[in-house]
Amino acid sequence: MKKDHHDRRKYHFSLAVLILLGITIAGHAKAAPPKINVQVNYVYTTQFGFGQYSIGGLDAEVYSLPLTFSFDDVFQNATLDLFIPVTYGRYRFRTNGDFQGNLVSASADSESLAVQPMLMLKIPLSETFQISPLIAWGPGKNFGADGQIIVDGEKYAVDLNEAWFYTYQLGVSGLFRHHSGGYELLYGMAFIWAGNGNLGKGNRNQSEAYGTLYTGAEVRHPIRAHLGNIPLNAGVFVIYHNFTPSLKFTRPGRGNLSVQQIMELGVSLGSTASGNLPYVGDFLDDFRIGLSYQTNQNFHGIRLNFGFPF
């Protein structure tokens, strides 16, 4: 068994998050305090990975420990990868506006810790094409929840739910490789159905599920640099994310915010060669690491990536 650092997927790090913030004012503000409900889409946090993003008043920070193990030739030439990402998320939501004739300002803060083991079977159908079915499930818990709401200058403390939850993913990806001169071209597609739900009775968090179609391309080329005796190469990639159904954000006093598609642009540094560095051995063989930027009209995120995620 050896650690595999070549095909780290965005599916294990997590970290985009959706917060649905609902405010209900029962009668006059002085007669009854308002209520605030914060719902986090934790599986999107796991998919986002390591980095931070913002959308509709939400600022999220995601940190993931990407533990990966690879088992060669488990079925003919197929390789079984076991991912065990441990993901920590930190979320801050701020919004204000007019709601039912009241000037409202609301804030909410929360943290989460989750693990989502994933099995992925890489099946080579030819020298240039492979398919990879995957399945994942894991538990998590949110904590440190705190919030307040200000209605026409009057401040209310609110009690936010802290509870256990689970996340899951099920899907398949395909990867095509082509070499031309010193360049390597990669083209990938994947469809992943993912969601999160409640663990335990009395949990007020709502379930969430959606599908994502990924389409991407990357170009890689050797560079005149080495890590010890390992030759390095660099790559640039673009990935299109299409969500079905759309990801939705509710905003008090304003219309709902939907995210149907995201474009991701990234660069990476890595190697496909083997080496034997002091103290680390073959730990860095076939490694990838880089940075990518995700964006659409309302969504902006920067994340650490571990190579072309197909």
| pLDDT tens, residue by residue, 15-38 | 233 333 333 433 334 445 455 555
Pairwise pLDDT comparison (172 vs 112), residue with the higher score: 172
What percent of the chain stands above pLDDT 70? 74
pLDDT, tens digit, for every residue of 131-156? 999 999 999 998 888 888 888 777 87
Residue labelled with tokens 């197909």: 310
pLDDT, tens digit, for every residue of 210-252? 899 999 999 999 988 877 777 888 999 999 999 988 766 555 4
| pLDDT at res. 130 | 95
User: Which tokens go with 8?
Assistant: 């780290």
> CA 273 to CA 183: how far, in whole Å?
15
* Residue pair 139/113 in contact by the 8 Å Cβ criterion: no
Residue 253's pLDDT band (boundaries 50, 70, 90)? very low
| pLDDT at res. 132 | 96
Task: Say which range, 1-10, 87-96, 210-219, 281-290, has the weakest mean pLDDT.
Answer: 1-10
| pLDDT at res. 286 | 67
pTM given for the model: 0.77
pLDDT, tens digit, for every residue of 94-112? 877 766 677 778 788 889 8
| pLDDT at res. 16 | 30
User: Which tokens go with 246?
Assistant: 């759309």
Instruction: Write down the mean pLDDT value for the chain.
Output: 77
